[in-house]
Structure 1
Amino acid sequence: MPETTRELLTLGGWKELEFGPFRENVTIHWIRPFEADQPGVALLRYEAGASVPRHRHQGLETILVLDGVQSDEAGDYGRGSYIVNAPGTEHSVWSDIGCVVLIQWDRPVKILDDD
């Protein structure tokens, strides 16, 4: 396992980072914000019961679950799960117990349902 991955998964290296607002009960730590044609890379921290409404992926999205469980209509993804959402796919995301994920977006998502 690469050292960075080991530090994030095993040692919880993300726990000391500063997170800011993203959505209700979901906070973000930007590793690399979107710039021109460069993808965005961030850590998202979901509190227990937090969710992101249905959205469409306008580019490729990849996720590595670092802690907890992230869920969508296709299933539940625990620590160490690697998720790929192709351009054009749609889903909503939630975490019943809370989670932290490493996420990369090629392009921002389009929110379809926003309460």
Structure 2
Amino acid sequence: MPETTRELLSPDAWKDLTFGPFRGDVTIHWIRPFEGDQPGVALLKYEAGASVPRHRHEGLETILVLEGMQSDEAGDYGRGSYIVNAAGTEHSVWSDTGCVVLIQWDRPVKILEEEIA
């Protein structure tokens, strides 16, 4: 079993994992990076107030909220929420309080609006 998989089975074990830059105040820990036609799987950690600008899903995206609250135009999703975004859908994502999510993308998303600094 890969090391990351074993660590994820323990409560809050993700807190000891190394996260790197992703987008602004959102960091990433890759469990399985995109490779060929294989989906990407990662943990995303949003600091309080962090966001990802409007983007389009080029493939299916599934999310499990592990901690905190993630939000988009359709609502707020707390710990334990399972979110499915179909290919072709668009939204922006943010977290007022901060959150950690387990995410799987069939294909990378396409950013539609860049954040204005």
Aligned ranges for residues 1-115 of structure 1 at < 5 Å? Answer: 7=9, 11-115=11-115
TM-score by length of 1: 0.92
Residue identity in the other structure for 2:9: E
CA distance in 1, matches of 2:70, 2:77: 5
Residue identity in the other structure for 1:47: E
CA distance in 2, matches of 1:102, 1:12: 13
Q: What stretches of structure 1 move > 4 A for 4+ residues in a row?
A: none
Once the 2 structures are TM-superposed, how far is the Cα of residue 14 of structure 1 from its aligned partner?
0.6
Once the 2 structures are TM-superposed, how far is the Cα of residue 81 of structure 1 from its aligned partner?
0.2
CA distance in 1, matches of 2:43, 2:114: 22
CA distance in 2, matches of 1:48, 1:7: 25
Residue identity in the other structure for 1:20: G
RMSD of aligned residue pairs (Cα, Å): 1.2
Unmatched segments (≥5 aa) in structure 2? 1-5
Counterpart of 2:3 in structure 1 is none
Residue identity in the other structure for 1:69: M
Once the 2 structures are TM-superposed, how far is the Cα of residue 13 of structure 1 from its aligned partner?
1.5
Residue identity in the other structure for 1:85: N
- Tell me the alpha carbon deviations over residues 1-37 of structure 1, each in whole angstroms, 9 at most, x when there is no partner: xxx7x836xx112101000000000000000000000
Identity %: 81
CA distance in 2, matches of 1:23, 1:40: 16
